[in-house]
Structure 1
Amino acid sequence: MPKKFKFTSFSLRDLLITIGPLTVLIVVLGYFAYKLVNPFPPKEVTISTGQENSAYASFGRQYATALDKFGIKVTLKPSQGALENLQRLKDDEADIDIAFVQGGSAQQEDAEEYGLVSLGNLFSEPVWLFYREGLDLQRLTQLKGLRVNVGAEGSGIPKLFRDLLKVNGVKEESVRISTLDDKPAVDALLAGRIDAAVFSSAPNSALIQKLLRTSKIDLFDFYQAEAYSRRIPYLSPVTLPRGIVDLGRDQPPRDVHLIALTTTLVAREDLHPALINLFAQAAVNIHGSAGWFRKRGEFPNASYADIPVVPAAIKLYRDGPPLLQRYLPFWVANFFERMWLVLVALLALILPLSRVVPPLYVWKVRSRVYRWYGELRVIEQTVEEAPPESRAEIYAAQFRRLEELDDKVNHISIPLSFADELYRLRSSIGLVRKRVLRLIEEEKAARN
């Protein structure tokens, strides 16, 4: 390679040394910002659902399918129902991230004490009171002495049923209450081992569908539904339209008044915001269509809930998915949505620091030349301060140092744009050499 190609107008090594500390600083700040913001959600999440064949179990599978498209594995953990789900959320050792909870099960104090947030109202869960044909129940006071199953304690129905008896002036002990799970309760009702069974579930539950289509089982008409909703605040009146179960067979043959609870998704407040966003988007797709008890777009919503609705869900229900997620893959969009403040802050840091780089680079290159001026100055001072009796030896020693210095400087590699600095140094060395030579000659002449 020709020697001239060894010389360039730019020194990459000096630039790297100059920007190295700044780069390390920016990388370290970026790393800590990344850890603080935590842009990427965990790849696994656990949801507490409900009993087998319940609406909660069905919806849980739908959420699992929806999040699986984004590479999130949803583990479904069956439960007795809403109360057990809420209790699991309160218990750190239960390892539950999100769960279905009915209205009336939780209180705002739970949110404050246990750090819980709601994703809004998802759907209405009617209270279904099925009874054996022939009993002709018109009022809940007629349940006295009957065998009524109200579900397991963890389902939340026992508490609701006690509230219903209370507002009707019926003592709990006057009813022969059992607490079978949903499926055994259906089997017992069909077999005649119990007289009635209370459920709270969305109509897509397989067990509810089975009972609605069984001719020997009747559905209680809460014709005082509006009054119940006024006496028990967490209930709302709904209507099962005539023919909705089977239009061809005209089932039911008339509108049936029901009372309903509203179900929400409740999560721990430390659940990653990206997961909350994904669950909220899935809720829109799963619960947003028209159903037996809802109009299209009525659910999900962020109206009043026992536990405050997280702002991210409110914004999504109002404005739709975030802008970037409409055009970019979820993981990319989520990264920029979570990190944009950090990126802007780093950019604001990089811009002023970048102005420091050019002067530092110039100083670094010139320092390779300037540092030899210090040694040259030491040689001059040594020569000037030499005592008369040892001048000859000192002059000779400093002359050798000048020769060594000149040889070292001659091997300095420096960008061509700074070559004038190098030649100035060599000229200075030459001037000092001439002076030392003159002093050596004068000393020789004086001794002779």
Structure 2
Amino acid sequence: MNIFNHFRLYARHDLGRELSVWGKIGQFYLPVAIVVALAAAATFFYVQPFPGRDTVLATGQRGTVTDQLGEAFESFFKRNGLTLQIESRTGLDEIENDLRDPDSRVNASFVVSGAGSPADYPALVSLGNVAIAPLWLFYRGDTLSVDDPFEYYRDKPIAIGAPGTVSQKLFKTLMELNNPGTGDKPNFLKLPHAEAADRLLAGDIDALFIVDGYSSPIVQRLLHSPDIKLMNFPLVDAYVRRLPFLQKVTVPRGSIDISEVQPAADVAMLASGVNLLVEKDVHPTVQWAFLLAARELNLKTDNFFPSAGNLPQYKDRGFPLSSVATRFYTSGVPSFFGYMPFWLASLLENVWVVLFALFLLALPIFKRLIGYRGFASQKLLWLHFWELRYLEDELKESRTAGQASAVLEGLRHLDEQVAATWVVDDQMRHYFNLRRCVGSAIQDAGKKIADLEKV
């Protein structure tokens, strides 16, 4: 008999018996199955393999570095089957209020290092720095060479950003560093960046301080204006030493316009990191999406400031890292993210510990299950043996042909039940022994019926 015929016979006979015996096993162990199902449901509820709510990311004003990051993240989420909603805010104060408000939909936001303190966000954890935000100081007039640009503009009209913005807060920090007690002055103009740029180009103000990315439309407009110059910070290293959340970046000579050699010399500048903060209960899948989106954006985007290093990175250590970000920065991206759909890869990364524990539990459970299978098979055979014994006792006590015929009918029904019973291999001898015993009892019943009919 070839293997195909053997499989056909198995599918026709043994498969049905196998399903039948498992149905009976299910009846035996139904209480255990209910407990296991409840435990599995509890585990599923505890692990929460999929995000249970929408992710809402607060960004800055249109055209800013955080707005551009938000658009890139939204695209990455969409490509990977996740939803990210973007809500723009005019200033850091509004973002802080959203993050502190338990009824706010916002559960993720960008916070520039130095503009916000970790104490302001006790319910948030960091995914690290996902971008850098240079501190640009644009001015009109002759080229300046001063050690402390902030002291120079202490009494001159300078736009420092609208109230509550990152630019305004960092300007105050830097002004107070070497000019303590300066406070708010009438010449510190708290103007929106677009309005301030227009007034600087028109000659109405002397300077503009702005914290934003290199690709910002306002920054690009001012960089390419022949009447506007970019301030050099000779003491940039000293600033970084005093304020560790800052870093040094350089605009190389001729990098803005190589034909006009603009700038005419290297310009040393300060930059801060853009931290991505999320609520502690934001789903791990969402956190992985943010981190991988930031990595993809850094790999695909030409970074004007290569000295900033690869992003994302954990530079501002004042904000505590989330557990997902800790795995990202210490162990890297799990390999299965490269060849699995994002949702499946993130699911495995989130629950692999639970899956591994369940696997370790499954091995002995599987062995027990095989044992239960054998036990059920043996139990069914012994039940048939006991039924046979009862029928033989009834046959012995039969006094009429009708009574013996009723026993014969029970024996034939038992024979059909035994024939339909599937047993494990090592109990096959008991199966055939039972069949022989039932067949012998049927013969005895036939003889007794014949004898009683003669009486």
- What amino acid sits opposite 1:78 in the alignment? S
Equivalent in the alignment of 1:293:
305
Equivalent in the alignment of 2:337:
325
Unaligned runs of 5+ residues in structure 2 are 1-8, 421-427
> CA separation in 1, counterparts of 2:53 and 2:103?
20
Equivalent in the alignment of 1:409:
411
**Aligned pair 1:420/2:428, yes or no?**
no
Equivalent in the alignment of 1:187:
198
Kept after mapping to 2: 8 A contact 1:281/1:316: no
Counterpart selection for 1:238 from 244, 249, 264: 249
> CA separation in 2, counterparts of 1:337 and 1:89?
27
Runs of 4+ in 1 over 6 A off after TM superposition: 429-438
Q: TM-score, normalised by structure 2?
A: 0.78
> For residues 79 and 260 of structure 1, do their structure 2 counterparts lie closer, same or farther at Cα, with a shift above 3 Å needed?
same
> CA separation in 2, counterparts of 1:110 and 1:353?
55
> CA separation in 1, counterparts of 2:14 and 2:235?
92
Greater shift, 138-147 or 266-275, is seen at 138-147
> CA separation in 2, counterparts of 1:208 and 1:156?
15
**Aligned pair 1:53/2:63, yes or no?**
yes
Greater shift, 210-219 or 175-184, is seen at 175-184
Name the count of aligned residue pairs: 422
Kept after mapping to 2: 8 A contact 1:106/1:306: no
Counterpart selection for 2:328 from 313, 316, 329: 316
**Aligned pair 1:356/2:371, yes or no?**
yes
Counterpart selection for 2:350 from 324, 338, 355: 338
Alignment of 1:24-423 (within 5 A): 28-41=38-51, 45-110=55-120, 113-114=122-123, 116-133=124-141, 138=146, 139-167=149-177, 168-169=179-180, 171-288=182-299, 291-295=303-307, 297-317=309-329, 319-347=331-359, 348-349=361-362, 350-366=365-381, 369-370=384-385, 372-373=387-388, 375-376=390-391, 403-411=405-413, 412-415=416-419, 418-423=431-436
Kept after mapping to 1: 8 A contact 2:394/2:407: no
> CA separation in 2, counterparts of 1:285 and 1:263?
16
> For residues 93 and 244 of structure 1, do their structure 2 counterparts lie closer, same or farther at Cα, with a shift above 3 Å needed?
farther
> CA separation in 2, counterparts of 1:414 and 1:280?
62
- What amino acid sits opposite 1:357 in the alignment? Y
CA positional deviation for 1:380: 9.0
Partner SS state of residue 305, structure 2: coil
Q: Once the two structures are superposed, what CA deviation does each residue of 1:381-419 show, in whole Å capped at 9, x if it has no partner? A: 9x6xxxxxxxxxxx759x855543431331242237525
Aligned identity (percent) is: 25
> CA separation in 1, counterparts of 2:386 and 2:257?
96
Q: CA RMSD in A?
A: 3.7
Kept after mapping to 1: 8 A contact 2:405/2:445: no
Q: Once the two structures are superposed, what CA deviation does each residue of 1:51-88 show, in whole Å capped at 9, x if it has no partner? A: 11111111221222223221223222112244543443
> For residues 352 and 83 of structure 1, do their structure 2 counterparts lie closer, same or farther at Cα, with a shift above 3 Å needed?
farther
> CA separation in 1, counterparts of 2:351 and 2:330?
23
Greater shift, 295-304 or 95-104, is seen at 295-304
> CA separation in 2, counterparts of 1:374 and 1:80?
89
Larger Rg: 1
Partner SS state of residue 239, structure 1: strand
